[in-house]
Structure 1
Amino acid sequence: MPRSVAGFAVACVLSVAMPALAHQPGRDARLPTIGPAPPFALRMADGGRLALADLRGKVVAVTFIYATCTDTCPLLTAKLATLSKRMGKDFGAKVAFVAITVDPERDTADVLRSYAQAHGARGTGWAFLTGTPAEIKDVTQRYGVFARKTDRGDVDHTFLTSLVDRDGALRVQYMGVRFDPDEMLRDLRALVREGGR
C-alpha cells in the first residue's frame, strides 16, 4: 500500500514537472497537433478569394474580428500587428495572419481595408476575409467560434486565435486577447523551424 501511495505521489509530481520542462527555453519540444485545420475559402478585401490551402507551406494564424468593434477586436489586431513586425523577414514569406470577420453583412471589402489600415495590419502577410453569412457561420462553427449579433448591433463572439502549421495541421489555440505575445512569438518561430527540417 505505501508503494502505491509513493508511486502516485511521484506520478503527480512528474505530471506537473514534465510540461514545465517541455517548454523551457533551449528544449526541442514539438508543439502538439490538435488535428487538421478546418478549411475555408473566403473573399479578400481586394476582391479575390483566399483558401487556407493557398497558404500551405506557411505558418498561419487565423483569428476572428469585426470592423465596428470598438474595444477588443482593435486590441487583438494591434497585438497581432506588433507580432508581425517582431517576426521580421519571416512575416509574409513564412508566416501569414488571417482575420475573418464575424459580421459579413457590414464588413465589406472597403470596410475591412480601412480597418486593416487603421490598425497597422496591412501589406504582405495579412489577409482580411469576408463571405456570405452562411460561409462565415460555417467557418466560425468549424473553428469553435461562437458569434451572435446583439440588439445593439454589436457581435458577441469568441476570441480565438489558431496557429496552423505548414502542412495544414491545427497546432495551438489562444483564447481571448490577453495571451502572452512572447509565447505566441515563440510558438510561431518553433513552427517555422519545424518546416525547415
Structure 2
Amino acid sequence: MSDSASRPATTTTTSLMPTLAVCAVVLGVAAGAIGHLTRGFELWTFEDLRRDQVSRGELRAVPTSLVNADGASMKAFGTAPRGGSTPRPAVYVVDFIYTNCVSVCQTLGAEFYRVQEALRREGRGDVRLLSVSIDPVRDTVPALRAYAALHRADGQRWTISAPTQIEALQKLTGALGVIAIPDGLGGYVHNGAIHVIDSSGVVLGIHEYDEWETALRQARGRWPSPLPLPQAGEGERPSEAQVARGGGDSQ
C-alpha cells in the first residue's frame, strides 16, 4: 500500500484523538459522580439514598411554621412551642398527607390513631404525632379539622397541620427528600412514609406506611413501655351495626 493511501486514515485517527480524550474525561467524571451519589454504586433508588442519609445522621427537617386544626400557629423542629406552655416533645412521628386522599392517607390516619391510643395509655408527652399536609392550598383549617374529627385526633398528642406558606412546604419536603407529584386527578403521588424526627430536626428513621409499630418503638427509644402495642382493630371506629347492637365504644 502506498503512502498516499494510508495518509487519510492516519489523519482521521489523529483528528479524533482530542474528541476521544474529551469523551474519556466526561465519562470518567460521570462515573465518579454516579459512584459518589450511589455510595460506591451500592445505592440506586432515591429511597435507598434517603435512608442512607438517615443512617449517617445527614437528613434533617428544617424549622417549619404550621397551622393546626384549631387554627393555631406553631413551629415544628428546632424551635420550642410559642409561649412555652406546651412541653416540647423529644420526638415527632411524622407523616405527610392531604385530607381529600381516599387511600393511603386514610389508612395512615387509622394507624396514627392506634399510635395515639398507645401513647395515651402510657401517659407519655415526649412523643408527638404530626401529620403535615402536602396540599396547603386546599387543606384549610376547616379541612384539617374535618380530618382530625374523622380520625379522632387528640390535639394533645396528635397535631393535624399544614404549612402556612407554599415556600415553607417546599423547604421542608426538599430538606427531607419528600416528593409529591400531582396525579392529574386532583391528588398526589408521594413518598412520604413515616418519619421519626427528634425535636432538633434530625431524622432518626424512615418507615413504610404499614410499619407504624416499628416507628413507635423507635420513637419510644430507650424508654420502652411495659404496655403492649394496640392490636389490629383495637380502637377502630364501630360500624353502625355495632352501635345499634350496643357494641360501640363504652367510653
TM score, norm. by length of structure 2: 0.57
The answer to whether residue 178 in structure 2 is matched with residue 155 in structure 1 is no
Farther-moved stretch of structure 1 (97-106 vs 146-155): 146-155
Deviations 1:149-188 (A, max 9, x none): 232111111132211235543211113x122x33223212
Alpha-carbon distance in structure 1 between the residues aligned to 2:104 and 2:74: 25
Specify the alignment match of 1:34 in structure 2. Answer: 57
Farther-moved stretch of structure 1 (120-129 vs 165-174): 165-174
Query: Aligned letter for 2:176?
Result: Y
Deviations 1:4-61 (A, max 9, x none): xxxxxxxxxxxxxxxxxxxxxxxxxxx9672443321222222222112236442111
Specify the alignment match of 1:44 in structure 2. Answer: 68
Residues 124/33 of structure 1: CA separation in 2 closer, same or farther (3 Å cut): farther
Greater Rg by CA: 2
Specify the alignment match of 1:86 in structure 2. Answer: 118
- What 5-or-longer segments of structure 1 have no aligned partner? 1-30
| Distance apart, 1:114 and its partner CA | 0.6
Given candidates 99, 104, 119, the residue that maps to 2:136 is 104
- What 5-or-longer segments of structure 2 have no aligned partner? 1-53, 82-87, 225-251
Alpha-carbon distance in structure 2 between the residues aligned to 1:135 and 1:165: 19
Residues 91/75 of structure 1: CA separation in 2 closer, same or farther (3 Å cut): farther
Specify the alignment match of 1:95 in structure 2. Answer: 127
Deviations 1:49-87 (A, max 9, x none): 211223644211121000000010010111011011112
Alpha-carbon distance in structure 2 between the residues aligned to 1:191 and 1:69: 35
Question: Is residue 33–residue 171 contact of structure 1 (8 Å, CA) maintained in 2?
Answer: no
* Higher strand residue share: 1
Alpha-carbon distance in structure 2 between the residues aligned to 1:107 and 1:60: 21
Question: Is residue 34–residue 172 contact of structure 1 (8 Å, CA) maintained in 2?
Answer: no
Specify the alignment match of 1:72 in structure 2. Answer: 104
Q: What number of residue pairs does the alignment pair up?
A: 161
Query: Aligned letter for 1:149?
Result: P
Given candidates 154, 157, 171, the residue that maps to 1:138 is 171
Query: Aligned letter for 1:66?
Result: Y
The answer to whether residue 77 in structure 2 is matched with residue 54 in structure 1 is no
Question: Is residue 66–residue 101 contact of structure 1 (8 Å, CA) maintained in 2?
Answer: yes
TM score, norm. by length of structure 1: 0.72
| Distance apart, 1:104 and its partner CA | 1.1
Alpha-carbon distance in structure 1 between the residues aligned to 2:56 and 2:117: 26
Residues 92/135 of structure 1: CA separation in 2 closer, same or farther (3 Å cut): farther
The answer to whether residue 214 in structure 2 is matched with residue 183 in structure 1 is yes
Alpha-carbon distance in structure 1 between the residues aligned to 2:215 and 2:71: 30
| Distance apart, 1:124 and its partner CA | 0.8
Query: Aligned letter for 1:133?
Result: I
Question: Is residue 67–residue 74 contact of structure 2 (8 Å, CA) maintained in 1?
Answer: yes
| Distance apart, 1:91 and its partner CA | 5.8
Alpha-carbon distance in structure 1 between the residues aligned to 2:144 and 2:183: 21
Q: SS of the residue aligned with 2:117? A: helix
Question: Is residue 70–residue 141 contact of structure 2 (8 Å, CA) maintained in 1?
Answer: yes
- Percent identity at matched positions? 25
